Structure 1
Amino acid sequence: MTGPTATTLLVASRNAKKLTELRRLVVSEGIEDVTVIGLDEVPAFPETPETGATFEDNALVKAVDGCAATGFACLADDSGLEVDALRGMPGVLSARWSGRHGDDEANLRLLLGQMSDVPEERRGAAFVSACALVTPSGGQHVVRGEWRGRIVREPLGHNGFGYDPIFVPSDDAMSGGSVAGRTAAQLAPAEKDAISHRSRALEQLLPVLRDLGAGA
């Protein structure tokens, strides 16, 4: 339950792993008096299909819908993998690349098959996250974070979700340390949170999130 002095922030997601990651990031940044909930914790409402041409389009639509339906400030993330050798695909189609939404294993295997003949020097990629925050007062904020790396040939690691097991971040991505050639799925949650595309996007929204807490 939301406390009497807490501001509720709705995260427009039913992905338990993504929601956990977003909650960790809010807590790690010391944002006080904000209670984070997901879509499964509010009454169902009509949701606009994610048919936007960009991550930003999809994130904003989700945030607008969530705020309008519940009256809560709503944070929405639309994210995916852009592979250089595939001309930026799967991009906004990342979650349904294999034709079935949310089938991480099938998506991953299809992408690896498409990359099977791509040499090491052309296996660059980036995770992209667009985060939109819409407030009941009418405020709209949309930001973008990117995390560069490369695609390996076999899945490694059991943390994270989606394409994490085949994505190795660039060694210079972590300030003051090194990811040492590990995939995103081999990183500890705190390591991933420090350098991920989602954390880079959310960092840009911290002033607005802190203002939400301060206004509780």
Structure 2
Amino acid sequence: MPGGGAAGAPHRRLAPGRLVLASHNAGKLREVAALVAPHGLQVVSAGELGLPEPAETEDSFLGNAAIKALAAARASGLPALADDSGFSVAALGGDPGVRTADWAEQPGGGRDYAMAMAKVAALAAPQADRRAWFTCALVLAWPDGHTEGFEGRVEGHWVQPPRGDRGFGYDPMFVPEGGDETFGEMDPAAKHRISHRARAFALLAAACLPPAG
């Protein structure tokens, strides 16, 4: 389980410098780079370094994020941050959840999120329950195998048809609680303030990152 070691042990602090984002997702790279920049960290993606994507074999967001973060840290010799996030629908028992990206996989390779959103809507539409949520697990790993893990969640509901061309993934079909715009319609700065990733990042920053400048 990712974390700071024994109960009550202090979290490990990250020094300013380079940080590998254990992802090949350009949308995640943009969001994470914007979040860590005030802390004196320069992000390089696993894709830019030519690192392979490890198999995500765990059944939890934190478990899969730890796999990715540890693989990138050990391969690069640098601290690495991994994000495992997913979209969950109450009427589907929490699916697609940890298999969020798998639902978008195409037979010939690549991911089609328009197809995935249509699948979610088709399966969930017969149910009256429109509740949905995004979960984000962030795991920070060092080359020596130490990890720190944090999780954030944002509640809301799903809509069909999807709206907006901002964000990525399932953003166009999710309206956060108390709002009327989807994540795909919102200004990116407004999304960053309330998103599941921002909530997980706030916990990580308080525990492990250098003070923001």
Q: What is the TM-score with the length of structure 2 in the denominator?
A: 0.85
- 8 Å CA contact 2:33, 2:42 repeated in 1: no
3-state secondary structure, aligned to 1:125: strand
What number of residue pairs does the alignment pair up? Answer: 195
> Is 1:19–2:29 an aligned residue pair?
yes
- 8 Å CA contact 1:129, 1:198 repeated in 2: yes
Give the Å deviation of 1:40.
2.3
3-state secondary structure, aligned to 1:41: coil
Aligned twin of 2:198: 199
3-state secondary structure, aligned to 1:97: helix
Give the Å deviation of 1:118.
2.3
Give the Å deviation of 1:201.
0.6
- What are the Cα deviations for residues 42-89 of structure 1, in whole angstroms up to 9, with x where unaligned? 1x3454301211111110000000000011100000000111111111
Give the Å deviation of 1:109.
1.0
What is the aligned counterpart of 2:111 among 84, 102, 124? Answer: 102
3-state secondary structure, aligned to 1:150: strand
Give the Å deviation of 1:105.
1.2
Q: Structure 1 residues 97-106 or 189-198, which shifts more?
A: 97-106
Separation of aligned partners in 2, 1:205 and 1:11: 14
> Is 1:80–2:86 an aligned residue pair?
yes
1:59-74 to structure 2, matched below 5 A, reads: 59-74=65-80
- 8 Å CA contact 1:143, 1:201 repeated in 2: yes
Percent of pairs with identical residues? 37
Code of the residue aligned with 1:161 in structure 2: it is F
3-state secondary structure, aligned to 2:94: coil
- 8 Å CA contact 1:98, 1:110 repeated in 2: no
- 8 Å CA contact 1:9, 1:36 repeated in 2: yes
3-state secondary structure, aligned to 1:117: coil
What is the Cα-based RMSD across aligned positions, in Å? Answer: 2.0
Give the Å deviation of 1:7.
1.3
- 8 Å CA contact 2:70, 2:145 repeated in 1: no
Runs of 4+ off more than 6 Å: none
Separation of aligned partners in 1, 2:96 and 2:78: 32
> Is 1:92–2:98 an aligned residue pair?
yes
Aligned in 2, Cα 1:136/1:98: closer, same or farther, shift over 3 Å?
A: closer
| Structure 1, gaps ≥5 residues long | 172-178
Q: What is the TM-score with the length of structure 1 in the denominator?
A: 0.84
Give the Å deviation of 1:18.
1.1
Give the Å deviation of 1:112.
1.1
Aligned twin of 2:126: 117
Aligned in 2, Cα 1:46/1:163: closer, same or farther, shift over 3 Å?
A: closer
Aligned twin of 2:47: 40
